[in-house]
Amino acid sequence: MKDKTFLMIPGPTPVPESVMLDIAKHPIGHRSSEFSSILEEVYTNLKYVFQTQNDVFLYTSSGTGAMCAALENLINPGDKVLSLVLGNFGNRWAKIAESRGAIVEKIEVNAGEVINPEILKKRLEEDINKEIKIVTLTHSETSTGAANDIQTLCSLIRAHGALSVVDGVTSVCAMPCKPDEWGIDVLISGSQKGFMIPPGLAFLTANERAWKVYEQCKNPSFYFDWASYRKSTRSNSTPFTPAVNLIVGLNTALKMIKAEGIENVNMRHKKHCLALRAALRALNLELLVSEDKNASYAITSILPPEGISVPAIRKTLKEDYDIVVANGQNQLKDKIFRIGTLGFVSDRDLISCIGALESTLYKLGHKFALGNGLKTLIEELNK
Ligand SMILES: Cc1ncc(COP(=O)(O)O)c(C=O)c1O
């Protein structure tokens, strides 16, 4: 049976029917009062989801656009940037910074590991002349499934006087992420992740400290310029023609998140991720991020069992059950597969996914007690 595709990847993520139906309506004029009212609600609810009193800018772009919107409005050539790299997306910050002429230094860890705050602390203490202007971080590193302790790392960066620029593309909604409370100076995210809408929108929030650095930026971005977005955001508008239909869908999705409550949304992701991890271990599978405390609640990376390939697992899941899980990226391609639990994911989706994975592994000859994964999952979900 076809046409029942079920996404368990870290984005795009599943979209609720009501959101899809709203997106399917005829476009409306982006300068109309009707659209302005929608934007007013969207901007207010984005502040709620981002847990900030500062403006949240809405860009028509993918998540990488918001990464550019952050660094291209802050960096002058020759500025020193420290990039904390857990994987592919941490490296992307470094590449964007380099493209603006920054001198980039990295603290890099092995795949599946997180940044040890003591190592950052030591490096910052060595920076006696306070040359490091910006530190880039990834909250949830989607390429590995590891999640940094952003609160601790950002407090060290703040104490040093540098600016923290955080990628929350797969953490906002999935994990507690509190820029105002934790002192995150710039935080970005993307629509096709925890926000339950398709790709095409990205978000950025910046505090007063970040605005001071923006004011020193000699060549801010044209399309992503913070000043023009602040002006538009405060008048319930956008500087350019935005993805009108996606914003209509976003309005519906944000109301759903608000009705559930952001803390409950975070808790749902945590429960799903920890239950999934327990179920995978019960299937004798090894997890790339071994300790639960370092796990992203959005994405879980799994090593294939001895003698069974990642392509075989993904192919069987897709062809026999119409379930799509992600491959590893770059050097992790075919070394791990990744299951997303991000956004519009319910207990039922996890039960289907683990049931199908058990069946897949059984067919491929993996040795485990059939039913162990589902049993563990159901027990964990009902704790
Ligand atoms: C952590 C993280 N950062 C950045 C991005 C880039 O987002 P996009 O592909 O929407 O440009 C992704 C995409 O998966 C991501 O997971």
Is the peptide bond prior to 12 cis by the omega test (within 30 degrees of 0)?
yes
Mean pLDDT for the chain overall = 97
User: What is the average pLDDT across 57-75?
Assistant: 98
Taking the C-alpha atoms of residue 327 and residue 380, their distance in angstroms, rounded to an integer, is 26
Residue 1 binned pLDDT confidence (cut-offs 50, 70, 90): low
Residue closest by Cα to atom 2 of ligand 1? 169
Report the residue among 88, 140, 169 best suited for mutation to probe ligand 1: largest number of ligand atoms under 8 A from its CB.
Answer: 169
Instruction: For residue range 240-270, list pLDDT tens digits in order.
Output: 999 999 999 999 999 999 999 999 999 999 9
**HSE-up of residue 54 (Cα within 13 Å, Cβ side):** 26
N-terminal to C-terminal alpha carbon distance within the chain: 34
Residue 368 is predicted with a pLDDT of: 95
Residue 309 binned pLDDT confidence (cut-offs 50, 70, 90): very high
Residue 348 is predicted with a pLDDT of: 97
Residue 332 is predicted with a pLDDT of: 98
Residue 4 is predicted with a pLDDT of: 76
Residue 57 is predicted with a pLDDT of: 98
Q: In the CATH hierarchy, which fold is given to the domain comprising 17-259?
A: Aspartate Aminotransferase; domain 2 (3.40.640)
pTM of structure: 0.98
Residue 5 is predicted with a pLDDT of: 79
Instruction: For residue range 110-164, list pLDDT tens digits in order.
Output: 999 999 999 999 999 999 999 999 999 999 999 999 999 999 999 999 999 999 9
Is 214 within 8 Å of 89 (Cβ atoms)?
A: no
pLDDT above 80 (res 2): no
Taking the C-alpha atoms of residue 329 and residue 122, their distance in angstroms, rounded to an integer, is 31
Residue closest by Cα to atom 7 of ligand 1? 63
Is the domain 6-12+261-381 a CATH 2.40.128.90 member? no
Would you list the domain boundaries of the chain?
Answer: 6-12+261-381, 17-259
Report the residue among 71, 85, 143, 170 best suited for mutation to probe ligand 1: largest number of ligand atoms under 8 A from its CB.
Answer: 170
pLDDT above 80 (res 3): no
User: What is the average pLDDT across 293-304?
Assistant: 98
* Ligand 1 centroid – CA 1 distance (Å): 32
**HSE-up of residue 341 (Cα within 13 Å, Cβ side):** 32
Instruction: For residue range 317-362, list pLDDT tens digits in order.
Output: 999 999 999 999 999 999 999 999 999 999 999 999 999 999 999 9
